[in-house]
């Protein structure tokens, strides 16, 4: 996956309110804005908090909004240190099990405001991942910044970081029905590599790239 392509196009959703479609279409047809990936920081935390307060979650496997808001309100500095810690710690799976957290880099997408989050996790020296990680990457864009090519740009910006960490390629997965995520991966040169059952939802399938 080496082709950093930023693309905006048209999307149609039959069950989306017309006002939302108009708003999304405006975003899709307006000139593309360049985003950057930034390290999470205290000065940018208010935008992150505002996103969490709407119920947005930085990961798709579990809704972390309430949990993270609680941690930020308890001690924002500790929250940021934990979030940006590159090694160590644990993560909690959907069934409540705590498992070791892989070395992880977390970045926020930034266009002058908080737009979303993208992270990269890997085991040094190997492409292998423990079974509880579906892939090397995870990303989510806040709903009001979607459809502007931001996730596509973010993935293009993260791939060089993966190469710096010694990963010649990465495994990226998305739900079979997640057309937007699939486009993000394909626009960055993702090559289809089959399907597997979703880790946390055995009835769902994931596409591998
Ligand atoms: C998936 C997600 C990250 C995409 O973010 P985004 O910034 O809107 O994506 P982009 O603007 O870069 O769009 C990428 C492509 O998806 C298309 N797209 C955007 N929203 C879409 C939608 N709702 N339905 C279908 N296609 C859509 C875009 O048109 C674009 O396609 P193109 O390259 O052919 O023009 C975002 O929808 C999101 O955060 N979803 C919830 C979390 C999630 O699913 N994360 C991924 C887990 S694998």
Q: Tens digit of pLDDT for each residue in 90-124?
A: 988 888 899 999 999 999 999 999 999 999 999 99
Q: Strands 195-197, 36-38: parallel, antiparallel or unpaired by DSSP? A: unpaired
Residue 198, ligand 1, Cβ within 6 A: no
Extract the tokens encoding 206.
């994931």
Cα separation of 65 and 71, whole Å?
10
Task: Scan for tokens 């596509």, then name that residue.
Answer: 152
Mean pLDDT within 149-164: 97
**Higher per-residue confidence, 61 vs 152:** 152
Query: How many angstroms separate the Cα of 148 from the Cα of each of 83, 100, 175, 187?
Result: 26, 35, 21, 14
- In the predicted structure, residue 21 carries a pLDDT above the cut 50: no
Protein residue with its CA nearest to atom 26 in ligand 1: 180
In tens, the pLDDT along 61-95 reads 889 999 999 999 999 999 999 999 999 889 888 88
Q: Mean pLDDT of all residues in the chain?
A: 86
- In the predicted structure, residue 205 carries a pLDDT above the cut 80: yes
The CA-based angle 183-178-156, given to 5 degrees, is: 35
Q: Report the pLDDT value the prediction gives residue 82, as an integer from 0 to 100.
A: 95
How many Å lie between the centroid of ligand 1 and the Cα of residue 180?
3
Beta-carbon contacts of 114 under 8 Å, excluding residues fewer than 6 positions away, are: 44, 47, 48, 50, 51, 108, 142
How many Å lie between the centroid of ligand 1 and the Cα of residue 9?
10
Residue 148, ligand 1, Cβ within 6 A: yes
Confidence class of residue 203 from pLDDT cuts 50, 70 and 90? confident
Confidence class of residue 176 from pLDDT cuts 50, 70 and 90? very high
Q: Which of 10, 146, 148, 170 to mutate to test the pocket of ligand 1 (most atoms within 8 A of CB)?
A: 146
Q: Report the pLDDT value the prediction gives residue 28, as an integer from 0 to 100.
A: 52
Extract the tokens encoding 102.
């892989």
Protein residue with its CA nearest to atom 45 in ligand 1: 140
Beta-carbon contacts of 22 under 8 Å, excluding residues fewer than 6 positions away, are: none
Q: What does R_g of the chain's alpha carbons equal in angstroms?
A: 17
| 8 Å CB contact between 52 and 84 | no
Mean pLDDT within 175-184: 96
**Higher per-residue confidence, 29 vs 124:** 124
How many Å lie between the centroid of ligand 1 and the Cα of residue 78?
32
Confidence class of residue 27 from pLDDT cuts 50, 70 and 90? low
Confidence class of residue 201 from pLDDT cuts 50, 70 and 90? confident
How many Å lie between the centroid of ligand 1 and the Cα of residue 70?
28
Q: Report the pLDDT value the prediction gives residue 4, as an integer from 0 to 100.
A: 36
- In the predicted structure, residue 30 carries a pLDDT above the cut 60: no
How many Å lie between the centroid of ligand 1 and the Cα of residue 190?
15
Confidence class of residue 7 from pLDDT cuts 50, 70 and 90? very low
Residue 8, ligand 1, Cβ within 6 A: yes
Extract the tokens encoding 193.
């590599």
Task: Scan for tokens 């069934």, then name that residue.
Answer: 95
Cα separation of 42 and 28, whole Å?
31
Extract the tokens encoding 130.
């423990």
Cα separation of 36 and 178, whole Å?
24
Domains and CATH numbers, the chain: 30-166 (3.40.630)
pTM above 0.75, yes or no: yes
């Amino acid at each position: 996956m080496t082709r950093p392509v930023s693309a905006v196009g048209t999307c149609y959703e039959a069950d989306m309110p017309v006002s939302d479609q108009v708003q999304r279409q405006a975003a899709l047809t307006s000139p593309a804005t360049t985003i950057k990936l930034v390290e999470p920081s205290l000065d940018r935390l208010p935008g992150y908090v505002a996103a969490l307060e709407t119920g947005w979650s930085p990961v798709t496997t579990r809704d972390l909004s309430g949990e993270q808001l609680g941690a930020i309100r308890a001690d924002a500095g500790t929250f940021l240190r934990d979030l940006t810690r590159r090694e160590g710690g644990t993560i909690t799976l959907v069934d409540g099990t705590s498992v070791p957290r892989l070395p992880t880099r977390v970045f926020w997408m930034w266009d002058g405001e908080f737009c979303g989050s993208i992270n990269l996790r890997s085991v040094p020296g190997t492409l292998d991942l423990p079974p509880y990680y579906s892939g090397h990457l995870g990303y989510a864009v806040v709903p009001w910044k979607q459809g502007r090519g931001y996730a596509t740009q973010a993935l293009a910006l993260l791939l060089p970081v993966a190469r710096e960490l010694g990963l010649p390629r990465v495994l990226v997965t998305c739900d079979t029905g997640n057309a937007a995520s699939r486009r993000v991966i394909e626009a960055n040169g993702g090559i289809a590599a089959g399907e597997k059952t979703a880790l946390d939802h055995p009835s769902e399938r994931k596409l591998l790239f």
